[in-house]
């Protein structure tokens, strides 16, 4: 895969988040969240939007200029390609979400919640900001085709008023972290279960939740909503699904684990496979990545095991951590193996010429996901800096070799 192909396939903002100025870092978080949330409806943004997002992060264009350029781009298209309608929705909704998240204030009311939907889907949906006037159901994979019981349309505004007013009057003083997570989970899942709009409920709930958590004093400038938006939606589904016939009760625990990761930095593996109502045995236990410490991802080179380290030695519930779907990381892991390489050596071995692309699409993601580490982590610019596999990377490497 060429560097150009990589840029088209893997868009991330890690470089800005880690190394950018404060304004760039904040913009990168907002964009990554805005773009990531489109996945809850199976949408992907266009390469054009991704390029505009980068230009906005770098201060070249304003968010309003992004909007004008998007409008011009889609209006000028004389021939519609397959998927253009979905991409236009994803692009414009992403731009709108980024603009909303750039403002720290929130109107915590029914009117404010409805306004979030209107602002997200302004120029995207004709019914933006309008409550539905019909009942709905949705077949869910995690429910084996069954649906959550969403609120009937006649009671939508009354239910929104009640839930938001109850939350407004709740005091968080003196409660434990467990009680806090349980309460936020109950509020957010209840708000989502009302499902007041014909489309876009999860994206609206996510944005409103981020704003509300900021109001409560939490720093939620991270990429959980970006990288795990589909898990967030399915966790909402499980929190609101009950079937006496199937012996299944409401299961808010999955959404609680999302918020535990978000608010307290816990390490639950947020994969949809663990949310299925009848998972196979290997998916029946959702791992907590406190287990990752036992894998020794920062073990010194002098004490690392190599060829004798096997994936079979890892607990069954932790093996999911050792895989990646990113082929660029796989190429890097296979090339480094048991050696210690400089950036120049790795690029030469992979036949890559463009250092910024290599850092953004190969090395930085591999480090972020815990497969590669620096030889001198406390001195990133050490003149003899090398890169080597972590124990997690060694396990993946050995698994690849065995296959």
Tell me what pLDDT residue 17 has: 72
Query: Long-range pairs for 306-315 at CB < 8 Å and ≥24 separation?
Result: 306/338, 306/394, 307/338, 307/398, 309/391, 309/394, 309/395, 309/398, 310/395, 310/398, 311/395, 311/398, 311/399, 311/402, 314/395, 315/291
Tell me what pLDDT residue 302 has: 36
Q: Is the dihedral of CA 271, 276, 280, 286 positive or negative?
A: positive
Tell me what pLDDT residue 289 has: 65
Host H or E run for residue 188: helix 177-194
Tell me what pLDDT residue 83 has: 78
Tell me what pLDDT residue 73 has: 93
The position carrying tokens 């109950």 is: 186
pTM: 0.72
Q: Which residues does the chain have with pLDDT short of 50?
A: 1-10, 291-311, 313-318
Domains and CATH numbers, the chain: 12-103 (no CATH), 126-286 (1.10.3290.10), 290-402 (no CATH)
pLDDT in tens, 50-107: 999 999 999 999 999 999 999 999 999 877 777 789 999 999 999 999 999 999 889 9
Helix, strand or coil, per DSSP, at residue 226: helix
Helix, strand or coil, per DSSP, at residue 387: strand
């Amino acid at each position: 895969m060429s560097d150009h192909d990589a840029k088209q396939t893997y868009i991330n903002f890690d470089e800005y988040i880690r190394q950018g100025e404060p304004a760039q870092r904040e913009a990168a978080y907002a964009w990554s969240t805005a773009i990531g949330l489109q996945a809850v409806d199976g949408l992907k943004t266009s390469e054009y939007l991704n390029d505009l997002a980068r230009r906005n992060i770098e201060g070249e264009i304003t968010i309003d200029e992004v909007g004008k350029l998007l409008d011009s781009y889609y209006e000028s298209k004389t021939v519609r390609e397959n998927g253009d309608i979905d991409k236009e929705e994803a692009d414009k909704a992403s731009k709108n979400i980024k603009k909303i998240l750039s403002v720290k204030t929130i109107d915590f009311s029914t009117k404010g919640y409805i306004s979030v939907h209107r602002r997200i889907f302004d120029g995207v949906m004709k019914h933006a900001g309008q409550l539905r006037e019909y009942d709905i159901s949705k077949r869910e994979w995690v429910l084996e085709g069954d649906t959550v019981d969403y609120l009937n349309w006649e009671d939508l505004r009354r239910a929104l008023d009640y839930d938001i007013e109850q939350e407004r009057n709740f005091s968080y003083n003196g409660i434990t972290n467990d009680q806090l997570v349980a309460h936020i989970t109950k509020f957010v899942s209840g708000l989502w279960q009302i499902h007041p709009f014909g489309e876009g409920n999860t994206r609206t709930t996510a944005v409103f939740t981020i704003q509300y958590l900021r109001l409560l004093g939490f720093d939620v400038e991270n990429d959980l909503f970006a990288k795990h938006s589909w898990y967030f939606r399915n966790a909402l589904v499980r929190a609101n699904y009950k079937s006496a016939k199937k012996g299944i009760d409401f299961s808010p625990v999955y959404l609680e684990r999302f918020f535990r990761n978000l608010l307290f930095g816990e390490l639950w593996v947020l994969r949809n496979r663990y949310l299925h109502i009848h998972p196979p045995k290997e998916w029946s236990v959702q791992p907590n990545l406190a287990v990752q410490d036992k894998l020794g991802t920062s073990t010194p080179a002098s004490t690392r095991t190599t060829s004798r380290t096997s994936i079979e030695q890892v607990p069954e519930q932790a093996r999911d951590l050792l895989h990646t779907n990113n082929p660029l990381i796989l190429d890097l892991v296979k090339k480094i193996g048991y050696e210690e390489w400089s950036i120049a050596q790795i690029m030469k071995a992979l036949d890559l010429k463009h250092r910024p692309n290599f850092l953004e699409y190969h090395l930085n993601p591999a480090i972020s996901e815990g497969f590669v580490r620096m030889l001198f982590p406390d001195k990133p610019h050490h003149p003899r800096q090398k890169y080597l596999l972590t124990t997690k990377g060694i396990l993946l490497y050995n698994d690849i070799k065995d296959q």
